[in-house]
Amino acid sequence: MENKIRFNFQGQTFEIDVPNVEEPKENKMWELSYKTAKNGISDFADMTDNYKDLFKRYEPKITSSNKSVSEESAKDFKNICDGVAGRPLNAGELKTIILHCQKKDPKMKINKYGHLFGRRTGKSFCSSAIFSCSCLT
């Protein structure tokens, strides 16, 4: 479909073809590479402590030598993590959550989908290492 503009200039009528203008494309800079879900928990809330408490509760049963107990508790842990995320987590996201929960003092925040973002400010490396050094006192 061609758009034409018709106008009068000094007593003469001119007609100009106007090319079709495309809609501006959306900026995908802030688009997430994974699906999100709305369940009352912010997509970028720091869930590190919540996941650590949850993992500590299930860890003895998950690492049990009894295969049926460990499989059942692993399923329960995954179901609860899926509930927190609001969607099923894939294996990579669940693995990241478990590895992050096993760290004593994680430096990164983890969101409800198991993705790392930002630095934690609670117990940072600087405050615990530099100011507790005995040579400064």
Kindly state whether residue 106 falls inside one of the protein's structural domains.
Answer: yes
Which residue bears the tokens 């049990």? 64
Kindly state whether residue 134 falls inside one of the protein's structural domains.
Answer: no
Cα distance between residue 112 and residue 69, in whole Å: 26
User: pTM here?
Assistant: 0.59
pLDDT at res. 75: 92
Kindly state whether residue 27 falls inside one of the protein's structural domains.
Answer: no
Paired tokens of 133: 């050094």
Looking at the chain, the whole-number percentage of residues with pLDDT higher than 90 is: 15
CA nearest neighbour of 86 among 111, 106, 108: 111
CB atoms within 10 A of CB 77: 21
What domain range includes position 99?
A: 48-114
Contact 110/100 with Cβ under 8 angstroms? yes
Kindly state whether residue 99 falls inside one of the protein's structural domains.
Answer: yes
Kindly state whether residue 31 falls inside one of the protein's structural domains.
Answer: no
User: What pLDDT digit, counting tens, does each position of 93-117 carry?
Assistant: 888 888 888 888 888 888 888 887 7
Which residue bears the tokens 């927190």? 84
CB atoms within 10 A of CB 39: 11
* Total number of domains in the chain: 1
Contact 119/108 with Cβ under 8 angstroms? yes
Phi/psi at 44 (nearest 5 deg)?
A: -120, 35
User: What pLDDT digit, counting tens, does each position of 5-19 carry?
Assistant: 787 877 888 887 777
